Amino acid sequence: MKRLLIAISLLTATLFAQPAPAPGLSVAASPANGPSYSQMYCSGFITSEKLPRTNFVLGSKESPHEDRFPGRSQLFLGGPALKRGETYSIVRQVEDPNREDSSPEQRRKLARIGALYQEIGWVTVRAVENGVAVASFDFACDTATRGDLIIAFREKPPVAFRRVDAPINSFLPNLQAVRGHILGSRDFVGLLGTGQIVYTDFGSAKGAKPGDYLLVFRGYSEGDLNKIDRASERLPKGQEDTAVRPAKVRPDAEAAAPHRVLGELLVLDVTSASSTAVITRAISEMELGDAVQSEEASAATATGAAPETCRPASRLRRMLFPGHGCQSPKPAHAEDKP
């Protein structure tokens, strides 16, 4: 009997031996001069795609004594079409419990581009018996729980930091450019700084791709201000008692001022309407609602190179020469919708 128990123990240990990551996976996703493997695969994402809920975490070897399953656990997975030897991601749809907007319509804009998912890690199916898969929890960003979703694993393209950081100007001219906004952050952090993961509505439809740098800035019009700045803007403005006939300043005069540059982001992953990014440099604190635009567009505005425009052609000329002329540019604060 004792020999039988030892044999079973050895067989179990062999079956569930913890494997190394797939060959080349961590190297491809985390070059020596790029974000860490955890930053790439634990950053989360926003998507408008409806992720299937047919495959999910059912429990663990230690059930029912534990309800949070750490990395290197042996997990039970429920659902059809789980194949032995395949690698799957564990994800969890999450929502910020804070119902307050950090900036005008921040939560509505976030909901418009999709649902936020936290990446929990990835597993490898070792066996399937009676519709239940037994899997090794090979890489963990967080503890898994019952009901977490199991989806196909997707290897992300490698991203590298640039070797030389260009100087960042303190201000950005208020010119027309495609822009987006920081609408969320990992762990629902409000005040943002270097190294934190954020989510924007500047996706591939606006030209973003992994490895791009985005400049973060904030304007001075009321629609650009975050919740704290808007509170200060509405306070009575002080005036020096000894001043004689000071010039009258319109309440919205600062809206025409150049934008204040706050720092930069490195894009890690994109969907059509969103991007996941890491803050690489912060000149000042950032908050949800701050605007972003591509570094190339920012460099063009810094040198005064505005987008090319032309004078609209007359109706007669457009009839004689179809396609002649150009469209009028959008206002400076127009936001391109995904």
pLDDT band at 315 (very low <50, low <70, confident <90, very high): low
**Do 296 and 177 share a structural domain?**
yes
Residue 182 and residue 60 share a domain: no
Whether residues 44 and 142 share a domain: the answer is yes
What number is the average pLDDT over the span 139-147? 97
Instruction: Output the pLDDT for position 67.
Output: 92
19 in a structural domain: no
321 or 172, higher pLDDT: 172
How much is the pLDDT for 225? 78
Final residue of a structural domain among 90, 118, 152: 152
Percent of the chain with pLDDT over 90: 57
Q: Which domain holds residue 86?
A: 36-152
Q: Give me the helices (H) in the chain, please.
A: 2-15, 25-29, 37-41, 106-113, 227-233, 295-302, 315-320
Clarify whether residues 142 and 180 are in a common domain: no
pTM: 0.77
Give the pLDDT confidence score for residue 303 in this predicted structure.
55
Q: Which of 152, 184, 208 marks a domain boundary? A: 152
pLDDT surpassing 90 at residue 96: yes
Q: Which of 216, 238, 219, 232 is nearest to 294 (CA)?
A: 216
Amino acid identity of 124?
T
Whether residue 107 has pLDDT greater than 80: yes
Cis peptide before 80 (omega within 30 of 0): no
The pLDDT of residue 319 is above 90: no
Predicted pLDDT at 176: 75
Instruction: Classify each residue of 229-254 as buried b or exposed e, where b means 16 or more C-beta atoms within 10 Å of its C-beta.
Output: beeeeeeeeeeeeeeeeeeeeeeeee
